């Protein structure tokens, strides 16, 4: 039996001794598999929003240049990890082979799954890019990937379209963290509330704060405010630029009757929003940076500079039962599900 490291360090080519996520290059030669690896035929990649936005901007919104950049990254790194943002995304595909040491897993060849670990640590080999959907950060591919023994995944549900499940599972960590963090009676501010993660967080927060709490969503575009108003997932929505912290602070405090927030969640996909996340939070409140565009050095030093004693949580894409919580949100909210189907499938 040929076993690899359960965390995938055996696939690291450079530098030696690190794990796959911080590695510069991974081995994406799948002609030989370890007995504790899972080989998947990949149908689509959902690129992390911060990553796709960066690539799309650099490419001048030219699809051919976006395709070339993605192929360049995977060709050089053996994985889809944006060299600027450091983030990846996730995939959906069909299980091709399950290593003999993983007999106790519930997977078998032919099962359709979504990866719940980042593409930034997943060995990936793209044979061909079939189509790019820039409006939803999705890339249809003919490709293969390997999941390690420790890798998380979810079987695609039978009661919803694969694209719908992919869209939701791509950001599953955010609403599941909201379910853990938000308590009855609290006030919650969500930056980037008009995106996938933002809408799911807002809906979960509305459930958790109860009749005495308050959920305020922030969007950059007025049309996103209308969408959120129609969904009814926020008590109020503020249109404001989160890259301008002082006017932003004034706007969101006014929306909360002049009070600072118990919890602030950052779901944006652009840089330089750290202080707009920290400033509206009360002393000893909670700041949750789900956005991979966050510069955590700026956040730490910025909080210190303005005298904010807040608990800052890194946007871990995993928390217990996150896939189940997120898919259930779409099942129990027909309006939210319909919007996701119209926008992301």
Q: Which residues contact 68 (CB under 8 A, 6 or more apart)?
A: 59
Q: 148 and 179: one domain?
A: no
191 and 335 co-located in one domain? yes
Could you give the CA distance from residue 229 to residue 246 in angstroms, rounded to a whole number? Answer: 25
Contacts for 274 with CB less than 8 Å, ≥ 6 apart: 266, 289, 294, 295, 298, 299, 302
pLDDT in tens, the chain (345 residues): 699 999 999 999 999 899 999 999 999 999 999 999 999 999 999 999 889 999 999 999 999 999 999 999 999 999 999 999 999 999 999 999 999 999 777 899 999 999 999 999 999 999 999 999 999 999 999 999 999 999 989 999 989 888 899 888 888 899 999 999 999 999 999 999 999 999 999 999 999 999 999 999 999 999 999 999 999 999 999 999 999 999 999 999 999 999 999 999 999 988 999 999 999 999 999 999 998 888 989 999 999 999 999 999 988 778 888 989 999 999 999 999 999 999 988
Q: Is 120 helix (H, G, I), strand (E, B) or coil?
A: helix
- Who's near 323: CB < 8 A, 6+ residues apart? 114, 116, 154, 169, 172
Question: Is 163 inside any structural domain?
Answer: no
Number of neighbours of residue 259 by Cβ within 10 angstroms: 12
Determine if the peptide bond prior to 15 is cis (ω within 30°): yes
Residues whose CB falls within 8 Å of the CB of residue 63, separated by 6 or more in sequence, listed in order: 132, 134
Helix or strand (DSSP H, E) at 74: helix 63-77
Is 165 domain-assigned? Answer: no
Q: Are 293 and 146 found together in one domain? A: no
CA distance 219 to 106: 41
Do 133 and 267 belong to one domain? no
185 and 51 in one domain?
no
**Shortest CA distance to 125 belongs to which of 90, 62, 78?**
78
Is there a single domain that holds both residue 210 and residue 115?
Answer: no
Say yes or no: 231 and 318 in one domain: yes
Q: How many domains does the chain have?
A: 2
On whether both 194 and 325 belong to a single domain, the answer is yes
If asked whether residues 65 and 200 sit together in one domain, one would say no
Distance CA 253, CA 341 (A): 33
CB 219 within 8 A of CB 230: no
241 domain-assigned: yes
Asked if 169 and 119 count as a contact pair (C-beta separation under 8 A), the reply is no
Q: In what order do the strands lie in the sheet with 138-147?
A: 124-133, 138-147, 38-47, 89-98, 112-115, 153-155
Q: Which domain holds residue 104?
A: 9-156
101 and 185 belong to one structural domain: no
Contact assessment for residue 171 and residue 269, using Cβ atoms and an 8 Å cutoff: no
Domain boundary among the residues 156, 181, 201 is at 156
Is residue 162, in this structure, part of any structural domain at all? no
């Amino acid at each position: 039996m040929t076993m690899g490291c359960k965390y995938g360090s055996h696939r690291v080519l450079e530098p030696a001794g690190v794990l796959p996520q911080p590695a510069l290059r991974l081995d994406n030669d799948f002609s030989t598999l370890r007995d504790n690896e899972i080989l998947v035929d990949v149908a689509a990649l959902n690129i992390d929003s911060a990553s796709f936005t960066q690539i799309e901007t650099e490419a001048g919104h030219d699809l051919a240049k976006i395709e070339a950049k993605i192929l360049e990254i995977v060709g050089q790194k053996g994985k889809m990890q944006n060299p600027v943002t450091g983030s990846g995304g996730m995939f959906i595909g069909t299980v091709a082979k399950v290593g003999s040491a993983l007999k106790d897993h519930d997977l078998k060849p032919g099962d359709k799954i979504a990866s719940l670990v980042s593409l930034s640590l997943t060995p990936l080999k793209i044979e061909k890019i079939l189509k790019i959907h820039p409006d939803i950060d999705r890339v249809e591919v003919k490709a293969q990937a390997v999941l390690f023994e420790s890798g998380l995944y979810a079987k695609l549900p039978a009661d919803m379209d694969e694209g719908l499940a992919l869209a939701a599972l791509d950001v599953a960590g955010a609403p599941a963290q909201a379910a853990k963090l938000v308590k009855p009676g609290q006030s919650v501010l969500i930056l980037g509330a008009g995106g996938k993660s933002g809408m799911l967080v807002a809906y979960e927060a509305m459930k958790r704060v109860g009749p005495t709490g308050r959920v305020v969503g922030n969007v950059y575009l007025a049309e996103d405010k209308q969408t959120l108003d129609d969904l009814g997932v926020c008590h109020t929505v503020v249109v404001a630029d989160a890259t301008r912290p002082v006017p932003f602070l004034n706007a969101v405090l006014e929306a909360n009757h002049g009070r600072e927030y118990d919890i602030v969640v950052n779901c944006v996909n652009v840089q330089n929003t750290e202080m707009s996340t920290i400033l509206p939070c009360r002393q000893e409140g909670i700041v949750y940076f789900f956005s991979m565009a966050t510069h955590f050095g700026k956040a730490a030093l910025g909080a210190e500079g303005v005298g904010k004693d807040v608990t800052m949580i890194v946007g871990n894409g995993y928390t217990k039962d996150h896939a189940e919580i997120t898919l259930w949100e779409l099942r129990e909210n027909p309006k939210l599900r319909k919007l996701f189907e119209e926008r992301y499938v």
